[in-house]
Amino acid sequence: MAEQTAVKEQNTATAKKTVRFDIQRQDTPDSKPYWESFEVEYRPNMNVISALMEIRRNPVNTDGGKTTPINWEMNCLEEVCGACSMIINGRPRQACTALIDNLAQPIKLEPMRTFPVVRDLVVDREVMFDSLKRVKAWIPIDGTYDLGEGPRMPERKRQWAYELSKCMTCGVCLEACPNVNDKTDFIGPALISQVRLFNTHPTGAMNKDERLDALLQDGGLQECGNSQNCVVACPKGIPLTTSIAAMNRSATIHSFKNFFGSDHLVD
């Protein structure tokens, strides 16, 4: 009896624990999505990316059929680049920081639907980068001559501006926002926050009015429905709703200045 118990315990200890994934796939941008399931051997501390790499090494689904490897994007694996954004168990987030131990099974992976799907979990985030151009999200210094030492930011302002600079253009806040869809041109909370960041910079403020003009155009601030999903979803904890409120105030003052031609209003 004792020997049978020991053998049973040994078999249990050596049994392979597996993790099941249900992955929504799409072969081309125009084809219909479909679901395919996979199982990978569990390892301690594994994340979604490591599981996808295992599936890529051996692309066999749960029916035992050989299939094509899953397509997805990754780069830094440190939640800095934003490339591995996808929907994991119904929530938009980064796959590199999604630990298997913290996820309910079967783990469902889907591409973000705010952006056009290229293939499987790969999406085209070009609209975000086009919006960055639209709001001039950069400091316009060409570097062809020495401008000398630039103006210093007060430490208090520098600290909260640094929080805004953590944005990695991952697209998670756009995916979570109900106002970003194919029926609106809303640029989304991340881009509004970037306007606040660059308008705060002493040199970037030279183009402050141009950025505010961009936010007052179609798809700008007026499209925000204040659902506040963005600030909850942001993986970097950026105060997006605070930025939206601040830009609403700045844009309102800017509008009054344009309308009345007055320089007496202070932002």
DSSP letter at 220 equals S
Per-residue model confidence (pLDDT) at position 149: 75
Residues facing 107 on adjacent strands: 21
170-206 confidence digits (pLDDT tens): 999 999 999 998 888 999 999 999 999 999 998 899 8
Split at pLDDT 50, 70, 90, the class of 222 is very high
Residues facing 47 on adjacent strands: 99
Predicted confidence (pLDDT) at residue 3 exceeds the cutoff of 50: no
pTM check: above 0.75: yes
Angle at 246 between CA 256 and CA 136, to 5 degrees: 80
Least confident of 149-153, 199-203, 248-252: 149-153
35-44 confidence digits (pLDDT tens): 999 999 999 9
Per-residue model confidence (pLDDT) at position 69: 95
Per-residue model confidence (pLDDT) at position 11: 44
Per-residue model confidence (pLDDT) at position 121: 98
Least confident of 18-32, 97-111, 142-156: 142-156
Predicted confidence (pLDDT) at residue 267 exceeds the cutoff of 90: no
Angle at 66 between CA 62 and CA 69, to 5 degrees: 95
Q: What is the mean pLDDT of residues 226-239?
A: 95
Predicted confidence (pLDDT) at residue 13 exceeds the cutoff of 80: no
Q: Is the peptide bond before 202 cis (omega within 30 degrees of 0)?
A: no
116-126 confidence digits (pLDDT tens): 999 999 999 99
Top pLDDT among 62 and 142 is at 62
Spans of all domains in the chain? 16-123, 126-260
Predicted confidence (pLDDT) at residue 10 exceeds the cutoff of 50: no
Query: What do you get for the CA distance between the two ends of the chain, in Å?
Result: 82
CA 5 to chain centre: 50
> Beta strands of 7-77 (E only): which ranges?
18-25, 34-41
* CATH 3.30.70.2860 matches 16-123: no
Fold exhibited by the domain 126-260:
Fumarate Reductase Iron-sulfur Protein; Chain B, domain 2 (1.10.1060)
Q: How far apart, in whole angstroms, are the C-alpha atoms of residue 72 and residue 49?
A: 9
- Under a CB-based contact definition with an 8 Å cutoff, are residues 64 and 58 in contact? no
Greatest mean pLDDT among 53-62, 147-156, 258-267: 53-62
Per-residue model confidence (pLDDT) at position 145: 67
Per-residue model confidence (pLDDT) at position 263: 55
Q: Average model confidence (pLDDT) for the chain?
A: 90
Per-residue model confidence (pLDDT) at position 259: 81
SS3 41: strand
